[in-house]
Chains A and B, each alone.
Chain A
Amino acid sequence: MASGSPRPAVGVGLKGPKDLLSGLMFMAIGAGGLWFGREFPMGSPVRLGTGVFPAILSWGLIVIGAIVFIQGLFVSGESMGKWAWRPVLLIGLAAGMFAVLIEPAGLIVSMVVLMGFGALAGDDHTVKEFSIFTAIMVVMAVAMFIWGLGMPIKVFPWS
């Protein structure tokens, strides 16, 4: 993916795609660390500046990334496997929607939205089971977090 090379015929793919990608990832983070840290003062050996430790770590990441990348070129490893986009995106969306809704819309709305997207991520939900489960969870959550722990979250959008 990141190497961008067109897939040749069957069997002659990249040798260690996981290593290649991890190597690139480490190198990219290291390079980013250096770039965004380019203005950190280095100080003196007696009084190490803000930039010393990040620089050591960034260079470390670049070196390790390079070795892992080279390893990926020569040692064959497992293929990447399928990326399960659906559950991953839906779970992420569920949590993200909760973050966006919790303050304006209150606990119940954000909870139902979260659980709805969460349920879409799994396959075998039935509407009946989901509704009952969500209702139980909502009651439990209000009892526990609002009445029990007294969290400052509003329950309904209008309260």
Chain B
Amino acid sequence: MELNLLFEHLSLGFGVAFGLQNLFWCLMGAIIGTAIGVLPGVGPVATMALLLPVTYYLPPEGALIMLAGIYYGAQYGGSTTAILVNLPGESSSVVTCLDGYQMARQGRAGTALAIAAIGSFFAGCVATMLIAIAAPPLIALAQKFGPADYCSLMVLGLVTAVVMAHGSILKAIGMIFLGLLLGIVGTDVNTGNLRYSFGIGILFDGINFVPIAMGVFGINEIMANLTNPERRDLVSSKISSLMPSRADLKAASPAILRGTIIGSLLGVLPGGGGVLASFASYTIEKKLAKDPSRFGKGAIEGVAGPESANNAAAQTSFIPMLTLGIPSNAVMAMMVGGMMIHGIIPGPQVMTDKPGLFWGMIASMWIGNAMLIIFNLPMVGMWVKMLMVPYRLLSIAILFFCCIGVYSLNNSAEEVLLITFFGFVGYVFVKLDCEPAPMLLGFILGPMMETYLRRAMLLSRGDSMVFLERPLSLGFLIAAAVLLVIIVLPSIRKARETAFVE
């Protein structure tokens, strides 16, 4: 029965995803994702922000399929740079540098690339199935949520995002509050009152998501990268055989399996995603190894585990966004932005209202993974050539795309000025060690949270105890409190700090 339903859903999804147009957007997403994954200094968040205006011209299915492809494509591409250049193309590939680059120096670059791609593919397939299986029951649960439950769930989500953020917890909380505050700028939907618009026309409808995301991530990344230039040293050795030997496969497969499990679990957590998963997987592989001293000297498990984990996590991090409508990290905030551009409000109703879109996107992930393994392995040489494009040229191209993209959204030159402003603000944040990602989450959740807060208070006739009286809401709040306490405890804090030290 359940299995039948799953089959029905997936066939609906594949029907949509195999449509010629959607296949094309999936391919585009995968290619763009790989490209920016390969290039250090260009991340998926900035790229998705860059392409949000373009997705306005696409059908919603195509738009979301492409945006999703960029994210998991970047996980593939990031490993290529890590292995061949010893630079993480993406932050989630930081640990892949450790053993991957060593393997490349020993002449085993082909094997390392192949294992990374195979591991990613396996993890991607498992995670896609996991989303398909986990989504319907979670959505059924989410439909029972009242406004108070939602409000508390968002608190839990934001707290978890804080725990996962790099650096100071307090500053991350501050950034979330700032994001929430920015989110409510403009006309208050409930009363029609204007808030914090200072008589500036473009602020009456609230700050648009695209300029803020592009300013804080796109423009700011360019500023930051130009201020600390990096050197790129390619491994000069030829990539010999791409086929891993039987012994390699045997050594790598348990690591791939463990990485997939760890990544899938950590990806679902709010604030989770590729970076944390790959670190966790590397640590575990090293602990489990008979001879831990091999790690850092070209251990194949050190590539297989983290690469599988980051791809699995990249995909399962869609689960909270798809089922509850709550973005768990900055990339998912972009996906929410992409949905909102097409007038789709993320939440449990998406699966029932737009089943084609929902299952089509999930199915496209499997197709995208298959495409990625094809053009990551045989075509790896082409991607590496891309590293020859110097950042000084890339940066001005990106700058241009940011500006024209924002302009095209509403044909509004003022919004281009807004990205300039947020670019400066973002640079100050980085200088002060305040991570902008939690701010973006707060920005997305701000209006939603206020609406649920108001509804909850209205339903409870003004009794704020409602948040503690409803069991679900209470559960979420307790979980949030426990998390906060745990993070403040010194021992765990120490472990967390070491995990984030590169």
Contact = CB atoms under 8 A, between A and B. Distances in A.
Nearest to B423: A92
B191 interface: yes
A45 interface: yes
Interface stretch (B70-78, B221-229, B378-386): B221-229
Q: Give the size range of A's interface with the partner.
A: 35 or more
Contacts of A19: 168
Contacts, number: 179
Interface stretch (B35-43, B297-305, B389-397, B479-487): B389-397
A96 B420 contact: yes
B408 A64 contact: no
Contacts of B402: 95
B444 to A, nearest CB: 15
Contact of B223 (A53, A54, A91, A129): A91
A102 B415 CA distance: 12
A81 B433 CA distance: 11
Given A54-B181, A83-B431, A129 B393 contact: yes
B392 A80 contact: no
B399 A118 contact: yes
A123 B457 CA distance: 57
A95 B219 contact: yes
Interface in B394-427: 395-397, 399-400, 402-404, 407-408, 411, 413-414, 416-417, 419-420, 423-424, 427
Q: Give the size range of B's interface with the partner.
A: 35 or more
Contact of A46 (B223, B229, B462): B462
Contact of B453 (A48, A99, A141): A48
A40 to B, nearest CB: 7
B432 interface: yes
Contacts of A71: 170
Contacts of A21: 432
B196 interface: yes
A18 interface: yes
B173 A64 contact: yes
B54 to A, nearest CB: 8
B395 A18 contact: no
A95 B223 contact: no
Contact of B178 (A26, A98, A141, A149): A26
Contacts of A115: 396, 399-400
B161 to A, nearest CB: 15
B431 A80 contact: yes
A113 to B, nearest CB: 11
B193 A46 contact: no
Nearest to A68: B170
A106 interface: no
19 contacts: A18-B431, A22-B432, A29-B181, A40-B193, A53-B453, A58-B181, A68-B174, A80-B431, A88-B223, A88-B424, A95-B402, A95-B417, A95-B420, A95-B423, A118-B396, A121-B395, A133-B393, A133-B396, A137-B400
